[in-house]
Amino acid sequence: MANGQTRKDFLKFGAVSAASLFLGSQSSSREAIAQTPSTDHPNVVIVQRYYQAYGRSDLAAVREIFAPDITWTIPGHHPLAGTKRGVDEVLAFFDQLAKAQFRAEVLFLGGNDNYVVDVHRGWSNLEQGENIDELWSLLFRIENSRIAEAINFPGNQHVADAFFWKTYDLKPIPDRLV
């Protein structure tokens, strides 16, 4: 981690941000959260550019926004869980999400010189099978004007795990052992 930041500091910031958002919005509806103004901090602009490029399926632009050694952590106990390392692994993860027709609606972005916090509604649009519609939060670490790390925090890990298990098959042995 850059600037003397440790992974512990990164995770602590994420936990504090999530807790602050949760405690600050106990009496708020989703609509009130959506109307919370975002700052124009340069790091927030980077994440906004990422979402715009992702929405256009502009992989060249996404590659420019991501650090080459980006890590993207998906918590849980399901076939897509784990840390993706490097742009190619992250984009392969996004390809898997596309199979479930995943969509996201950003509700809040805020940031500082090192991090951006995103809260969004994420849902799937499968015609057959299970769908999901949950609140999610992402903690982005920005380094050298690029997204260097992202950690995803589902609003309900149990619901997320159940959805991913029903939607994505685990690779058969021996493929999952390599």
**Higher pLDDT residue, 41 or 24?**
41
Alpha-carbon distance values, 142 to 102, 115, 139, 162 (Å)? 24, 6, 10, 31
Q: In DSSP terms, which residues pair with 76 in a beta bridge?
A: none
Residue 141 has pLDDT above 60, yes or no: yes
Write down the pLDDT at residue 119.
94
Q: What is the pLDDT of residues 86-136, one digit of tens each?
A: 999 999 998 888 887 777 888 999 999 999 999 988 877 766 667 888 888
Domain range 7-177, CATH class: alpha beta
| Residue 160 binned pLDDT confidence (cut-offs 50, 70, 90) | confident
CB-CB neighbours of 154 under 10 Å: 20
Query: Any residues with CB less than 8 A from the CB of 57 and at least 6 apart, and which?
Result: none
2-13: per-residue pLDDT in tens? Answer: 555 555 554 544
Q: What element of type H or E holds 58?
A: none
Rounded distance, CA 5 to CA 36, Å? 28
Q: What's the pLDDT score for residue 113?
A: 92
DSSP string, 132-178: -EEEEEEEEEEETTEEEEEEEEES-HHHHHHHHHHHSPPPPTTGGG-
Does residue 150 carry a pLDDT above 60? yes
| Type of residue found at 5 | Q
Does residue 40 surpass a pLDDT of 60? yes
